[in-house]
Amino acid sequence: MRNKYISAFLCLGMGILYIAVPHTLLPVCEYAETAMGGHAAIASPMGHSTQSHMACFWTARAELGLGMLIIFGGLLPALSNSIEQRLGITLMFAASSVLGAAIPAVLIGVCPGETMPCRAGTLPALLILSGLFFLFSLLNVLFLNKRRKAGGNG
């Protein structure tokens, strides 16, 4: 019975970290830098200039959405008494952890410059966070599967 509350608590924490890492703890770049050191401006279809965002800005936005999904999903194990439901939710978390690593590494990416804060800090932090979340999910799947086979309620 304690497993479902521990799982819920850990998932809530992971969701908060997916939001906090690129926005607060190790923030990403906000705008593209020009060769002159200023912010790059691009013309919008309406004729006025807007700031051009780096890839890491969009990575942070995607991780925000993923973090909110994990926080919401983190509440579900605490509300469920079925091991099968909690097993399915945990498998969803494992897939979410893979997505959490794929967003900055493959799907959207971060800035190309090796010294940029997003590449030096945010990217490794998100990859480590995703790896830990995947490991937690895998261990929880093994635990729940063992309990399911033993006929317990987890």
pLDDT tens digit string along 13-38?
999 999 999 999 999 986 655 444 44
Q: How many beta carbons lie within 10 A of that of residue 83, not counting itself? A: 22
Predicted local distance difference test score (pLDDT) of residue 140: 94
Q: Which two tokens stand for residue 112?
A: 């190309």
Residue-level pLDDT at 81: 85
Q: Is the pLDDT of residue 11 over 70?
A: yes
- Please tell me the predicted confidence (pLDDT) of residue 4: 87
pLDDT for 48-86, tens place per residue?
Answer: 445 667 889 999 999 999 999 999 999 988 888 889 999
137 close to 104: Cβ distance less than 8 angstroms: no
Q: Domain range for residue 108?
A: 2-150
In terms of Cβ atoms closer than 10 Å to its own Cβ (0-12, 13-18, 19+), residue 60 is buried
- Mean pLDDT across the stretch 88-99? 96
Between residues 34 and 113, the one the model is more confident about: 113
- How large is the average pLDDT for residues 88-96? 95
Compute the mean pLDDT over every residue in the chain, rounded to the nearest whole number: 85
Question: Based on the structure, what is the number of domains in the chain?
Answer: 1
Token code pair at residue 36 = 């002159």
Q: Output the pTM of the full model.
A: 0.82
How would you class 118 by CB atoms within 10 Å of its CB: exposed for 0-12, middle for 13-18, buried for 19 or more? buried
